[in-house]
Structures are given as C-alpha cells and as structure tokens.
C-alpha cells in the first residue's frame, strides 16, 4: 500500500489537452497551456486570482470586482437569500432588488462567503496516521487525523478562519485548504426573476440564451464594506471568439474516475432513484405554487432547485445509457487492469481494486435508498426536522473528542454549523407540512409500511398527520429556542419533548446505523481501492491527470467557441435584440417591465450570453470567466445540454459553458435598473 | 423470450410447468395439467368457463355469478364509474354504493362488457393477403385484411357484436375473437374506498393484505337484467392450501418474447421515461387532491391509476436491471439463434430476425418520447383534447374505405368509439386545466421550446394559458355537440373553430407523421421479424409455449401457496382479525364506519385475502379464481411485489397472485353492508 505524493505527481506530469479538466492552482497543465495558448501564469497571477475568487458556502462561486467588497455572482445563487428577504409586501424575487445606497443593502440570512488564503499538502501526515489499518479502523483513524489537522489550522480563529481537508484523486492526495470566512454578506443588486431566469426551466441548459443571471453582493467586516486584498476588473468589451478564457471557481462534484461497476451503480440505482424522487417532488411543488401567487413565491426557489437538479441528472443518466460511453470506460479500465495483472510485482503492489470496488456495489445498491431517505434526509424534507437533527446529533457529537466526531461536527466546522442553525428565515407552516408530509410518504412507500423504522416514526399516524403534528407543535421555528438548545447541549436537548426533536432522535439512531454500514463496509473499501487505482494509473501512464471536482478552487481553460447541433452551427454569442424576439406575454418568456421600458435606450447589438469550451460543473455557478490578463470577460451560469454528461466524461466537441457577457451586465446596470452608483465602484476596463 | 420456457424448449424435454403461462383456451398445457394436477378439462367445462367470463372494455376482467346478470369484478375496476356517478352530495367513492333494489342500480357511463362467444384461426388468411410484401405495403395489406375479417364477422350486428383480431405469438398466430357487447351495465354494489382499497398505495402489490377489492355490476338487455347463458357458482369455503386454482381472465400485456435489444429499449428508454412522467404527474395529482375534499374526490381515480402504473413499472424496471435476468434472456436468445444459424436451410427460412429487430431499436429510442407525447397523447392529457382528437381523426378516417383506415377506426370498432365519445361524464374545469397545462408543459420541455410542433401548438402562449383558453372556450363538454360533430363528419368538423378541435388538427397532423414513421420503419420490421422468430420457435417446439398476453381470454394454473420472504415464510391466507389489527385512525388504514360497526358480528377467523401461484398481469383484475369444478374460490385483484417482473419473466418461486377470499366477500355482503337481497341472487355452494 502506498500513496502518491503530490510532488512526485507534479514532477512527472506530461501534457494533456488543456481544454479538459478542472485543475488545482498548484498543478496546472503548464506545458499544453504554453503550447496551445502561449500562456504561462506566474505566481503573482495565480495569487491574485486565488484571492479575487470566492466561494459561497451554499454551493456557488463568485469574485470580488471592486475595491469595496462587491462580489459578482449569479442571480440563481442568491435566490434563496432574496426569497428569505421577501415578503408578500416586498416581492424582491419577482421585482428584483437594488440598494440605492449602502444603508439599504440587506444582510442575507445565514449566507457565508469563503475566500481561499492558502493550501498545503497533508497527504503524508494522513498516510502515517492510517498506516496498516483497514475497514472501520482505517476510516476512524483517517477521520480523526483530518479533524485534528483542521482544528490545528483553525486554532482560536474559528470565527474568521475555516480549514477543510480536500481529498483529491479520490483520496490519493490530501490537501488542507484554509479560508477566510465572511458571514456578513449583504444583497446589493439582483434583477427580477423574469430577467435573471429568462426562459426558465425550458431554456435551462440550452443555448442560444438571454439570461441576466447576475447578482451583486457586498462583503462587510465590522459593519463596514470589506476592502479585499485583491479583486478583478471587468473587461467591458469581453473576449473575442477563439480567445483563451478561464473559469476560476468551485466545481462541486464530478465522478470521472469511477470504475465501471461504480458507474453502473449510478446508472441503475442512484440516478433512477434520484430522478423519480425529484420528478414527483417537482409535481408537488409545481401544483403547490399554482394555488396562489403567494404560494408561487414561497415554492419558487425550491422548484427551481429541483428542476435544475432533475435536468442535470437527466443528462447524467442519458450519458451513462449511451453504450459508447460505457464501452470506452470499460476499455480504459481493462487496459489498466491488464497492465497490473500482467506482472506479479504489480499485482502484489496494487492488488485488484476494481474487484474490491465491484465487490461492494451490490451492498451499496441495496443500502442506497434507505441511506438517502434517512441519513441523506430525503425522507424528512423540512426545516423543523433539519434543525432538530442538527441539535440532536450536534449535542451528541460535541460531547466527543474532536477526532472521534462525525466529520460535519468537527470543531473547525462548528461555527458554520451553528450559523446555519441559528439563521433567521421565514417559516411557511402550510408549505412545510406539504413538503414534510410528502417526504414522509416517500419514506413509508420506499422502506415499506411494515419497516420497523417506519413504524417507529409514524406509529399509527399517517405521514400527513405526523407532519401536521410536528409543524403545529414544534417551537423550533424560534431561533432563540434553537440557540438555547444548542448552547444547552446534550442535557437541554435530551430534556426537550419538542415533536421535531423526538422525531430527530429516531432519525439519528437509524441514520447512524446506516451510516456506519455505509462508511464501514462500502465507502472505506471504495476509498482504499481508489487510492490503489490512482497509484497504478500514475505508475502506468506517468501522466498528470486532474482530480475530480471537490467544491474547491479550480481553473479550467478554453476558448470562446460555438458548436454544431444536428449539423447546424450554433454561434458563440447572442445579442440583446434576440431577447426581445424571444419574449412573449407568458412566463418564463415574459419580459420584466424594466426591460420593456429600457428597450429604446439599449444597444441591440450588445452581446448578451456566450459559450466557451471550458470544463465546468455545478458549483461553478457565479465563476468569473477571465482572460489571460485576469480580467472578467464573462459570468458563468450554466452549461449547454451536452455538458450534462460532464459528471462522468468531457466531450470537448459539444460540451460548452454558458456565461453572461460583460456587455449585457454593464448595459443592464447602466440603462435598465439603472445602478450608476454601483457601476462607479466596479473596476471596469 | 422467457427464461424458463426457453431452457425447456431448447432441451426439447418435458412440457413447460403448468404454473407458468397465460394459456389460450384452445391450447392448454394438457399434459402437465394431467401429470401435475390430474386435471383434464373437457369441451363443456371450457365452453362454460368461456361464457361465464367477461371482459370490461376499460381494461379489467369479471364473471357472471348469478342467473340474473350479476357480474363480480374488482372495486378498482368500477372506481371510474363510481366517481362519475358521484357528486359533492353523493360521495359513492368514499361512502360506497349499494342499490337496495334493481330500480336503484345506476348505469355506468360509457361502460361496456364483452363476453367471448367464439374464436377462429385466421392466420392463413392474413398470411395469404400479405404474401411477399414488406415494410409499409406489408403493414397496409395486413391492416386491410384484418379490418375486412373483423367487418365480415360483425356484419350488420355492430350494436351487439364485436370482433377483434388477436395477434398471438407476436403476430405468428392470428385469431378472430367474436364478443357479445353489453353497453347497459349498472352499478349494483361497491364498498367504500377505505374497504375496497384498504392499505392504499403503500399496501398495493404487497401481502399480507386485507382488501375487499370487490364490486357487483349487473348487465341489462332491453332494460331488463340479462339472463346469461352460463354463470359460475361461488364456493363459500374457498380452496385449500395446495389445491389447483385457475384464473380465467384477460391479462393485458406481457413482453416475454421480446429480444434482448427490445428489452434494452424497455430498460433504457421506455420505462425510465414512463416512470419519470408518472412520478411527476403523481406529484401534481397528489397536491391537487390535497387542496380540498372535493379535489381529493375529483383526482382520486386518476391518482390511483397513476400510482398503480408507477409501482408496476417500477417493478418491471427493477426486473430488467437485474443482471441475472438479462443474462438468462441473452443466453436463451443465443441458443435459438445458434440453432437457426447452424443450418443453411434454417438460415434461409428464418433469416436473422434478432439482427433485424436490433437494427431498428435506435430509431425507436430516438422516436419514443415524441411518439408518446403526441400520438400516445401524454402531451395532451385532457378530456377536451381527447374528444377533439376522436372527432378530427374519426371524421377523416371514416371517409376512407374500411381497409385503409387506422385500425382503431375500423368499421367493426366504430360503435365502441362512438359510445366512448358520447358518454356523459362530469367535467371539472379547474382539474382539466391542471392536467392539460401540466402535460403541455411536459410537451414543451421534452420536445424543446423551439421545436416547430411546439411552436405551432403554443404560439406565444404558455402551456397553462393554452390549457385555460381551451377549457374556458371549448364547448365539447356538451355531449350533444360531440354527437352533432360526429354525425356531421368531415364537413362539420372542418367548419368547427372550437379551440380543442383547432389544437387536435395540429396534433393529428404531427401524430400521423410520427405514427407513419413508427409503423413503417419500426413496428413493421419488428413484427415481421417476430413472426420469423415465432416460426423458428414453432419449428422447434410447436405451440407448447404460451403467447404473450393480449387482453384476450386466458387460463392460468396454480395452487394456493405462500412464499418465503427474506427467509421468513409468508402464509397464503389472511383472516378478518388481521384487518382490525392493521387499522389506524388515518388513511389508507382507516376503517370504513360499516366495518367498525360490524366488527362484533363478524367471524374473525374468516379468510380475507389469499395468494396463489397463478401467472397473471394487469388486466386480470376482476378475474375469477376457479377450482377444477369451475366454482369461484377467489377474486383476483393484485399480484405481490415479485409479480411485477412478470411483464418480462415469471419467477414461480416468489411470484404470487393476490385474491379476495369468498369468505370475506360473503361475510361482507351478509353482515357488513348488508346486502342479503344480492346474496340470494348469487349462486353459492
């Protein structure tokens, strides 16, 4: 058993095509960048990029674009916040929001922005701590060491510092990422829903497109606008067709190194379950939203999120069903395996990780639905139960030494957990009942009415009756009570008879059981085998590969470029006149009044959206698209329909990233909303 | 090609086990029946069975059980009728219905009962008519000859006679089925929803079970109760464990003879699409129904139907994902193919039908979603559009010679088409808008907002706006107008500017295009190849295999027998006391008041539901379970969870049919409702 050291990996790197891959900043495909693009970023360029980029803890990316703490990100990344700030009187979701002055900027409840300060390689330290161990012992030792490293890194600075172990190459390389935490994030500008999500679900993942999916936040520190160390300027004219452009952001998750048996698990178990679950939830949310305008507003953000996830997973599912994809994966796998098996020394060194991984797939398939519903929370979609679970589990975990806790309750991460728990957010009891009642009905359906856990949870109640009981009687919607229980710890939580807490105790108990089985019998086997696999792959190819996405900072390279769809060329840019041609009197193609009014003032040839060949995935939303000078030439908000297979493979001929063009952003701020005071702050070149 | 039978077939050994298969009455597995059960039904037994069995044109089975025209079927088979007869004032769905006298029996709108009178083999005649043809010419000639045969059979008697060509063995054998049609069918008794569907969706396809899924209809002729030629008696004590029991009914559709490439199409395209579509629709209906009691009543029947279909397809999907199933199918296919390929004469005679079928699968996969939405109607779920499509297409088709029409408008079937079109049924405009608006949104989503057909249909309207426009402005809810347009034919329909008719014209045009492609390029190839395949199979084995289900009369054989679930035995019978133990205060486990009240009077040890090893599938609902003496010993209403793979293969070790025991039916009629006047009519032994 041995693990790759990053240094070795870097030293032996040979070029691969630069347009594929989400590269860590310390391991760029430098040779092909030089060859393909004559681009050779120096340490200063990288440092400035790293410090200008930010991560929205909720799952998006962004960047500083002013010396006064303005952060550019997507409309859809702030929609949750906008919804929380909205009410029946102030419908910022549909009317948009623009703070006329800094005093009007409104804090986003629970929103946190992280800015990466430095990274370090801790692979060796974790390897030493887990030497000779396997199964649960291996898992526990690794977790303990990871938590220890994170805690040491955060030190006494947990309010402003966050440290995460990032497992690259399926755990083959372990990095420590240290972030600065900003928890006072305020909404400055967001367009109307009709502009920020023009075309809605039908146009989502499609192109040509006319979507002003932008928003501006401002980071505050000590109640004053932050003056970030670095920020990007916006290049008003954007980039030319064919020009090198880079995304700098936080791609969430790819699975490009999965073995065939793991891909089959995705295709046959994970994706079908998630898709059917999402489809039904979508129906529930759609019909709930159709009952009244207020309901529509309440459900909007969840509905968008469910529809987006559904469409993305549909693309992943379709990709895995394409026989060619699976055949190619199988072929690559066979080649590597044959190479290992052909030599006794290699057999000894690497074992048969494919077999080991394949050997636990059936167990995972059998466990997956139960796990997703109980430990994954899909059976209890509810703020009340979510709070209660954090309180119940948090109380127990915090009573343990740091290294023995579940990872998400490690000391270093507790401030963020607490902040999320205590964040104020509106409560819509009827909506809460609908979601909880429905998800409990799925729990009963999928585990079966006679499952002991279902009997424990429901008793003789129906899912809907239990949901109503909890929402009507739980007091957890009061943040003061949540704070009191959090601070009171195990004793206070144990004394609570709040019905959400009562339910969460059952969920916690069975969830731990499932998690133990997953981590002990499946995940630990997969991870250890993946490390073996990574080692063998490296030994054979001597090649530098990029790691799967891990919601950590990555650069991707590409050019502004259209593609061919069914034999017809798709141009890389759209212009503002196209918006007006596509508009109709009905959502999601109905123009916001501001755009109807501004029409005569706008430059109809100004570019609106654009596509580029960059390799991105969910989590990259809000990423700046930058040029070689480190100027913003676009704002990533989507991929085209062909990008959806990107979870598993990248097809550079048709896979495109979709971004908002600077011309559209600047025209909108200047003439549509108008927001001259913000334009003055933004660095524009 | 199913696993078990093919292995046997290739071994050329013993006849197939009698417990597998849905056999036509003219081709029973007589040898194994004699060996296994010492049962040898004579012509008289078969004739009596055929004449006692009936088919509900809507998709169920039933049987005469009195000399006065009483038909025993399932509660869930009459639910649509009950719903149509219900109103806010008379909620027969939830309160049940019992006609105290014949005068109170209420006609089910549009319901038709068919009773098989005779069958004939017309294979040769169709073969002659299509000799030497292929592709569209083959298809057209075959269709024309089929329509001609049906018309000759019906003659001038179309009001009371119905003739259908039934294609057995994937078209390898063609039979003509002549039915007597009964269109005056009245509701006599149905229990409350809570009793007829006790356990609801959670218990659906599960066992142990406590479901009084029964109903009584009465067939009228000339406004008087029909005196059927034959009827079954009910055996009060039922059958013993291990006793031979038969189902006599109309299994709808199985696909046990599909080739591997066709099964892959099911697994990768058909089932995932249908499942996700159904899941989302289920969410819509569930949430619509939750808005009020009235809404719940309105959506109930659709919701049950969608949930039932969803669960059934989930089982089929799971079955096809089991690697062992597909491997066995592939092995069996290879064996037959090898046998053909091993001999030059056989190669010449049968060709390579597997290759031909595989060759059109990608085209079908590419076409499937469009086809289902447009020609299959999933994009226009609405009574208005359904009526309009019948009118538009019917007008055009009726103008053609019989043999050139689309099959569903062949002269012989027109009376049934007309009856369905003109049937009175309640219209709930808001519900209609919800369903049509949603299904149009799926059309736009799945074909894409820029698809020419979507643009033609929607224009600049949203799906919801178009649905509202149609439902608010169409006058087709008036049966008199529908009759006027039907009778007026092409001219009247062409003159109509009813918005549903306008939409239907577009749907008809594009639907015909898709259908032509499907029938011409895919179906005709599959069918011809399937005939070749069937011919090869015959050459090896004759008709000792059973044909796939075709919603025509079949016998299946089996015994009353439990099974083993996760190592624990499941007993074959439940008793009435179990119902009370399972009951709770909430749907779907809430007892109807009648059962609460009757509790002290009931025999708690009386049998409620039972399982048997019979091979059944959807369409068998309402089938009598009969013993060797031709007495009713059960009422089929479901299969267990393992029966769901039955669409593709039969696993006799765990696949079970679920039926209502006569003891429960008789106790209910005697003591719960009570319905002594009906009990007196029913022949009980």
Interface predicted TM-score (ipTM): 0.85
Mean pLDDT, rounded, for B443-471: 95
Residue B476: pLDDT over 90: yes
The per-residue pLDDT of chain B, averaged, comes to 92
Burial A86-117 (b: 16+ CB within 10 A, else e): beeeebbbbbbbbbeeeeebbbbbbbbbbbbe
> Would the CB atoms of B449 and A203 count as touching at under 8 Å?
yes
pLDDT for the residue numbered B136: 80
To 10 degrees, the CA torsion angle through B489, B490, B496, B499?
100
Q: Which tens digits make up the pLDDT trace of B64-88?
A: 999 999 999 999 999 989 988 988 7
A chain contacts of residue B589, beta-carbon cutoff 8 Å = 460, 462
Q: How far is A32 from chain B (nearest CA, A)?
A: 38
Instruction: Note if the bond before B157 is cis, omega within 30 degrees.
Output: no
Contact call for residues B59 and B653 (beta carbons, < 8 A): no
Q: Which tens digits make up the pLDDT trace of B431-445?
A: 999 999 999 999 999
Minimum CA–CA partner of A281 in chain B: B283
pLDDT for the residue numbered A70: 98
Q: Which residues contact B673 (CB under 8 A, 6 or more apart)?
A: B96, B98, B189, B191, B594
CATH fold label, A6-112+183-255+548-681: Thrombin, subunit H (2.40.10)
Beta strands A233-234 and A631-639 are parallel
Mean pLDDT, rounded, for B321-339: 90
B chain contacts of residue A589, beta-carbon cutoff 8 Å = 460, 462
pLDDT for the residue numbered A416: 83
Q: How far is A267 from chain B (nearest CA, A)?
A: 10
Mean pLDDT by 10 residues, chain A (685 residues): 29 49 91 92 96 92 98 94 88 95 94 95 93 85 92 89 88 90 96 95 93 98 97 98 97 90 96 98 98 91 91 91 87 94 94 96 96 97 97 96 89 87 91 98 93 94 96 98 97 97 98 96 90 81 74 96 90 97 92 97 98 94 97 97 88 93 98 96 95
* Tokens, residue A340: 């290992």
> Would the CB atoms of A287 and B287 count as touching at under 8 Å?
yes
pTM recorded for the entire structure: 0.85
Whole-number Cα distances in Å, A48 to A45, A249, A535: 5, 14, 33
> Would the CB atoms of B202 and A287 count as touching at under 8 Å?
no
Residue among B68, B147, B56, B144 nearest B101 (CA): B68
Alpha helical stretches, state H, B101-173: 123-129, 135-154
**Closest in A281, A445, A465 to B201, CB measured:** A445
Mean pLDDT, rounded, for B458-463: 93
By three-state DSSP, how is residue A298 classified? helix
Query: Which sequence spans correspond to the domains of chain B?
Result: 369-533
pLDDT for the residue numbered B16: 46
> Would the CB atoms of A462 and B317 count as touching at under 8 Å?
no
Q: Which residues contact A585 (CB under 8 A, 6 or more apart)?
A: B460, B461, B465
> Would the CB atoms of B585 and A460 count as touching at under 8 Å?
yes
Q: How far is A586 from chain B (nearest CA, A)?
A: 5
Q: How far is B108 from chain A (nearest CA, A)?
A: 31
Best B447, B586, B587, B588 residue to mutate vs chain A (most A CBs within 10 Å): B586
A chain contacts of residue B286, beta-carbon cutoff 8 Å = 283-284, 287, 438
Residue among B320, B321, B293, B289 nearest B305 (CA): B289
> Would the CB atoms of B461 and A291 count as touching at under 8 Å?
no
- What span, in angstroms and rounded, lies between the C-alpha atoms of A318 and B306? 24
- What span, in angstroms and rounded, lies between the C-alpha atoms of B224 and B243? 38
- What span, in angstroms and rounded, lies between the C-alpha atoms of B123 and B121? 6
Instruction: Note if the bond before A259 is cis, omega within 30 degrees.
Output: no
- What span, in angstroms and rounded, lies between the C-alpha atoms of B477 and B471? 9
User: Of B88-102, B348-362, B528-542, B611-625, which range is least confident?
Assistant: B528-542
pLDDT for the residue numbered A609: 98
> Would the CB atoms of B586 and A321 count as touching at under 8 Å?
no
Q: How far is A280 from chain B (nearest CA, A)?
A: 4
Residue among A510, A447, A264 nearest A364 (CA): A264
- What span, in angstroms and rounded, lies between the C-alpha atoms of A320 and A263? 7
Q: Which tens digits make up the pLDDT trace of B593-651?
A: 999 999 999 999 999 999 999 999 989 999 999 999 999 999 999 999 889 888 888 88
> Would the CB atoms of A462 and B587 count as touching at under 8 Å?
yes
């Amino acid at each position: 058993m041995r693990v790759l050291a990053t240094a070795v990996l870097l030293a032996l790197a040979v070029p691969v095509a630069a347009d594929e891959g989400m590269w860590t900043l310390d391991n760029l495909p430098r040779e092909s960048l030089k060859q393909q693009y004559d681009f050779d970023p120096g340490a200063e360029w990288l440092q400035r990029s790293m410090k200008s980029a930010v991560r929205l803890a909720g799952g998006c990316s962004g960047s500083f674009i002013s010396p006064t703490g303005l952060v550019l990100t997507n409309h859809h990344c702030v929609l949750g916040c906008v919804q929380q700030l909205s009410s029946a009187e102030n419908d910022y979701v549909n009317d948009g929001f623009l703070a006329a002055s800094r005093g009007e900027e409104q804090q986003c409840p629970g929103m946190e922005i992280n800015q990466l300060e430095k990274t370090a390689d801790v692979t060796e330290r974790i390897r030493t701590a887990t030497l000779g161990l396997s199964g649960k012992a291996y898992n526990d030792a690794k977790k303990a060491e990871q938590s220890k490293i994170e805690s040491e890194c955060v030190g006494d600075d947990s309010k402003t510092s966050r440290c995460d172990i990032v497992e690259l190459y399926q755990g083959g390389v372990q990095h420590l990422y240290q972030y600065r935490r900003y928890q006072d994030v305020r909404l400055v500008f967001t367009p109307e829903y009709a502009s920020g999500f023009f075309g809605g679900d039908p146009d989502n993942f499609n192109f040509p497109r006319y979507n002003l999916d932008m928003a501006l936040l401002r980071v505050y520190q000590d109640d004053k606008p932050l003056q970030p160390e670095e920020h990007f300027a916006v290049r008003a004219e954007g980039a030319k067709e064919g020009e090198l452009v880079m995304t700098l952001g936080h791609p969430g998750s790819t699975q490009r190194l999965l073995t065939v048996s793991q891909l089959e698990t995705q295709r046959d178990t994970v994706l079908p379950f998630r898709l059917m679950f999402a489809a039904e939830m979508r129906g529930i949310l759609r019909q709930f939203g159709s009952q009244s305008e207020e309901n529509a507003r309440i459900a909007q953000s969840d509905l968008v999120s469910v529809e987006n996830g559904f469409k993305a997973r549909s693309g992943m599912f379709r990709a895995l069903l394409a026989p060619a994809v699976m055949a190619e994966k199988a072929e690559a796998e066979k080649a590597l395996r044959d190479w290992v098996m052909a030599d006794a020394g290699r057999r000894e060194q690497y074992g048969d990780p494919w077999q080991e991984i394949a050997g636990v797939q059936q167990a995972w398939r059998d466990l997956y639905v139960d796990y997703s519903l109980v430990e994954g929370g899909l059976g209890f979609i509810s703020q009340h139960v979510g709070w209660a679970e954090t309180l119940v589990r948090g109380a127990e975990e915090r009573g343990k030494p740091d290294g023995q806790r579940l990872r998400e309750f490690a000391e270093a991460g507790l401030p963020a957990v607490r902040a999320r728990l205590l964040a104020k957010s509106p409560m819509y009891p009827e909506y809460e009942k609908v979601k909880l009642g429905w998800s409990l009905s799925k729990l009963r359906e999928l585990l079966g009415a006679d499952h002991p856990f279902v009997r424990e949870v429901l008793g003789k109640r129906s899912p809907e009756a239990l949901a109503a009981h909890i929402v009507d009687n739980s007091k957890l919607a009061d943040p003061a009570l949540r704070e009191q229980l959090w601070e009171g710890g195990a004793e206070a939580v144990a004394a609570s008879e709040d019905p959400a807490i009562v339910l969460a105790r059952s969920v916690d108990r069975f969830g731990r059981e499932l998690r133990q089985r997953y981590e002990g019998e499946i995940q630990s086997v997969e991870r250890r085998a993946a490390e073996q696999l990574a080692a063998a792959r490296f030994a054979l190819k001597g090649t530098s590969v990029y790691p799967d996405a891990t919601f950590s900072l990555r650069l991707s390279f590409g050019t502004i470029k259209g593609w061919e769809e069914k034999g017809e060329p798709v141009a890389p840019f759209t212009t503002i006149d196209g918006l007006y041609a596509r508009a109709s009197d009905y959502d999601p193609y109905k123009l916001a009044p501001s755009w109807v009014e501004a029409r005569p003032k706008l430059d109809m040839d100004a570019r609106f959206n654009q596509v580029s060949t960059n390799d991105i995935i969910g989590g990259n939303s809000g990423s700046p698209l930058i040029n070689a000078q480190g100027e913003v030439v676009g704002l990533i908000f989507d991929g085209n329909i062909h990008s959806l297979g990107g979870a598993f493979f990248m097809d550079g001929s048709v896979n495109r990233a979709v971004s908002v063009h600077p011309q559209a952003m600047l025209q909108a701020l200047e003439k549509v909303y108008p927001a001259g005071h913000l334009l003055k702050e933004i660095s524009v070149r």
